[in-house]
Chains A and B, each alone.
Chain A
Amino acid sequence: MSRAPAGSAVAVPAFSRPAVVVTDLTRAYGTRVVIDGLNLVIERGEFVALLGESGCGKTTLLRALAGLDPVDHGRIDAPGEAAVVFQEHRLLPWDSLWRNVALGLPDQGARERAAAALSEVGLGHRLDDWPRNLSGGQAQRVALARALVQEPELLLLDEPFAALDALTRIRMHGLVKELVARHRPGVLLVTHDVDEAISLADRVLVMRAGIIAAEHRLDGSGDRAALRLRLLAELGVHAESEPA
């Protein structure tokens, strides 16, 4: 796989180049092809949601974009830094919140940067607290701060709200929207939740059999209820028309 180093695109201003370009990506486990010649471009500042049934390859795609899994064939060009928020918060229990957020940052000014990021998620008053004293929603907010403190060009969200209760999830949606609008990374959100995808994303992709099988742009004018039913149908759920 070729992850171009950050300095390779000096001629192109950072705001105009895509956050990631995936070309003809293929990934197989043994003989089972999970991703089959997939193409995808995510612009900076663009929020893309990726829907798909379990086992359709969407988490595999996210892991490949994060550089966690090797690529069998094809290219991933992610010129800038990529950050990941996982379904579990993955905070280090032995580090205070600010040290968790600062993980991997250069020591110089790390605490200040971490403090700023934690303030953005409403936890600026708990820099020295332990992760074990946090609720699930708070822990996931710290994970979000940890991702954004890197100022990533690509933000990968792997079902980060799936384990939260419904009310916390709605609050997190608002927070993520706000933070993404401010930092403008390209976002790929992997989710099972059609409503979540519609409420957050600029573009919704449906993945099936290792490729992007359908794509919908949300420009604000379309009929969301109709889109919801359509997405459900594309995911193999044929629901009666019901209030969203």
Chain B
Amino acid sequence: MTTLDPIASLSLPGAGVPPRRVLPKAVSPSPSRQTARSGLGPYGLFVISWLAPVALVAVWEVLARAGWISPQVLPAPSKVLTTAWKLTLNGSLLLDLGTSLLRAAVGFAIGGGIGFALGTLVGFSRLAEAAIDRSVQMIRAIPFLALLPLVIVWFGVGESQKIFLVALGVAFPIYINTVLGIRQVDPKLVELGRVRNLGPIQLIRRIILPGALPSILTGVRYALATAWLALVVAETIGAQSGLGFLAMDAREFLRTDVIVLAIVLYALIGIAADSIARHLERSLLAWHPNYGDRR
């Protein structure tokens, strides 16, 4: 990102996920010609960037309380908060949240494991590529959510249906990025490994996997987003527990406060998952000029 680009220099903290290769420096407010011209300085712009969403929520609150927005359409933010508190006290919120997180975790582990195993196989072996890759790419061409009706026929609407859908969504990004990562390892470094008489296991452990890791972690970040999306869809279609069930159940009673709460929780967990993935990148890729904090 060039600092001469006025839009780039005004990019606001918290304004969505910044592009991967942007250094942390470029995201945090820093003095530059453009900010000086606005007469506010970087700190002022930073405050505004947070003031705007806060004001939006405040306006929403006022309108809801004044009765301009019917609670059946959109409940006041304060109402959502008190509902969250009540549901936490009676334990049902944590139970649903835990159920959803467990489904996501199990699906992620299964799908990620399969994607990684196939990706490693195909990355190393041209024979495996010939045997596997085309089929995988064909299945990948299907938007995986389109499989939902079929998945319900196979598994019903139980736990397996949800875990299967999450695993399906996770497997492809991990598979593709693992293959890509392994193929992109610098052949000169592999040659170095041969000069040093590394055995195949040492070669993989010391050179190929570390070289493929940036790409694999990119896959993990994509996969986290897909996993979450798959879960939302699966839980919304049919569930007896979980956040999606919470929302769909509330719909029957027109409890929009609970629905909004479920939506907000989905968003928060999505953000948390992404920041965990980014933290993972920063700590595992500390050596990498585009990720590490050290200089």
Contact = CB atoms under 8 A, between A and B. Distances in A.
B87 interface: no
Contacts of A88: 188
Contact of B191 (A68, A83, A95): A68
B195 A68 contact: yes
B189 A104 contact: no
Nearest to A84: B195
B194 interface: yes
A103 B294 contact: no
Interface of B: 188-189, 191-198, 202, 206-207, 210-211, 213, 285-289, 292, 294-295
B197 A104 contact: yes
A-side interface size class: 10 to 19
A92 B206 contact: yes
B261 to A, nearest CB: 43
A69 to B, nearest CB: 11
Contacts of A67: 194-195
20 contacts: A66-B195, A68-B195, A82-B195, A90-B188, A92-B189, A92-B192, A92-B206, A92-B207, A94-B210, A94-B213, A94-B285, A95-B287, A103-B192, A103-B193, A104-B193, A104-B197, A130-B292, A130-B294, A132-B287, A133-B294
A93 interface: yes
Nearest to B197: A104
Interface of A: 66-68, 82-84, 86, 88, 90, 92-95, 103-104, 130-133
A103 B207 CA distance: 10
Given A86-B192, A94-B285, A130-B294, 6 more contacts: A68-B195, A88-B188, A94-B213, A95-B206, A95-B287, A104-B202
A86 B294 contact: no
A92 B189 CA distance: 7
B187 to A, nearest CB: 11
B63 to A, nearest CB: 53
Contact of A94 (B197, B287, B294): B287
A29 to B, nearest CB: 18
Contacts of B289: 132
Nearest to B186: A90
Contacts of A90: 188-189, 191-192
Contacts, number: 51
B213 A68 contact: no
B149 to A, nearest CB: 45
Nearest to B209: A94
A86 to B, nearest CB: 7
Given A86-B188, A130-B294, A93 B288 contact: yes
A130 B213 CA distance: 17
Contact of A103 (B196, B213, B286): B196
Contacts of A82: 195
B23 to A, nearest CB: 14
Q: Give 7 closest A-B pairs by Cβ, nearest first.
A: A104-B196, A94-B210, A94-B287, A90-B192, A84-B195, A130-B287, A103-B196
A68 B187 CA distance: 13
B234 to A, nearest CB: 37
Nearest to B213: A94
Contacts of A130: 286-287, 292, 294
A94 B211 CA distance: 8
B198 A104 contact: yes
B198 A93 contact: no
Contacts of B188: 86, 88, 90
B210 A92 contact: yes
A90 B185 CA distance: 12
A83 B214 CA distance: 30
B273 to A, nearest CB: 25
Nearest to B188: A90
A185 to B, nearest CB: 15
A4 to B, nearest CB: 15
A84 B285 CA distance: 28
Nearest to B194: A68
The listed residue with most A CB atoms (<10 A of its CB), out of B196, B198, B294, is B196
A93 B192 CA distance: 13
Nearest to A93: B287
A43 B192 CA distance: 25
